[in-house]
């Protein structure tokens, strides 16, 4: 397996957060989200990506260890399968994701401008079908 640049993990987290927020906005509460297995599975998968990428960024020294709780949440989701607390997932979506997105966005803003623009262009091409991701990335590139 080739080594991946840590900067890409920032964008992995950001896109995953955007996807979760986009899915969740279609539901009024945790139970309704959980009853829609496609949406529920999608949200859990995106949390897995967030946790994995956060762990890599902690190891790289890009994020402080206080974000280990995000990695721990990912592990809880992945290893408890059917025992996942839907209310806890919903609360994280409603209360914590925007703050973490802001942290990640600030880290992205501090990247080398040329590298940032290259990654954003690649992600725009890769996510052409996701208008909400494209819109956010275009704002990020200015």
Domain that holds residue 57: 6-111
pLDDT by residue for the chain (142 residues), tens only, comes to: 457 799 999 999 999 999 999 999 999 999 999 999 999 999 999 999 999 999 999 999 999 999 999 999 998 888 876 678 899 999 999 999 999 999 999 999 999 999 999 999 999 999 999 999 999 999 998 7
Using DSSP's 3-state secondary structure scheme, residue 94 falls into helix
Q: Is residue 50 part of a domain?
A: yes
Q: Is residue 100 part of a domain?
A: yes
Q: At what angle do helices 86-95 and 97-109 cross, to 10 degrees?
A: 50
Instruction: Quote the number of domains for the chain.
Output: 1
Q: Is residue 22 part of a domain?
A: yes
Q: Interior CA angle at 36 toward 35 and 37, to 5°?
A: 100
Q: Is residue 1 part of a domain?
A: no
Q: Is residue 62 part of a domain?
A: yes
Residue where the block lists tokens 């927020």: 21
Nearest one of 90, 113, 72, 112 to 26, comparing CA atoms = 90
Task: Please enumerate, as own/partner, the contacts of 39-43 that have beta carbons within 8 Å and a separation of 24 or more.
Answer: 40/86, 43/89, 43/93
Q: Is residue 70 part of a domain?
A: yes
Q: Is residue 81 part of a domain?
A: yes
């Amino acid at each position: 397996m080739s080594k991946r640049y840590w900067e890409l993990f920032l964008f992995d987290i950001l896109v995953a957060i955007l996807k979760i927020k986009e899915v969740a906005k279609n539901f009024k509460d945790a139970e309704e989200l959980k009853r829609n297995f496609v949406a529920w599975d999608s949200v859990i998968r995106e949390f897995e990506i967030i946790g994995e990428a956060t762990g890599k960024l902690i190891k790289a020294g890009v994020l402080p260890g206080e974000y280990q709780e995000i990695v721990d949440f990912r592990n809880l989701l992945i290893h408890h399968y059917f025992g996942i607390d839907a209310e806890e997932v919903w609360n994280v979506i409603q209360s914590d994701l925007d703050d973490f997105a802001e942290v990640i966005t600030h880290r992205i803003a501090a990247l080398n401008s040329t590298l940032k623009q290259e990654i954003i262009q690649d992600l725009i091409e890769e996510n052409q079908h996701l208008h909400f991701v494209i819109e956010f990335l275009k704002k990020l590139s200015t």
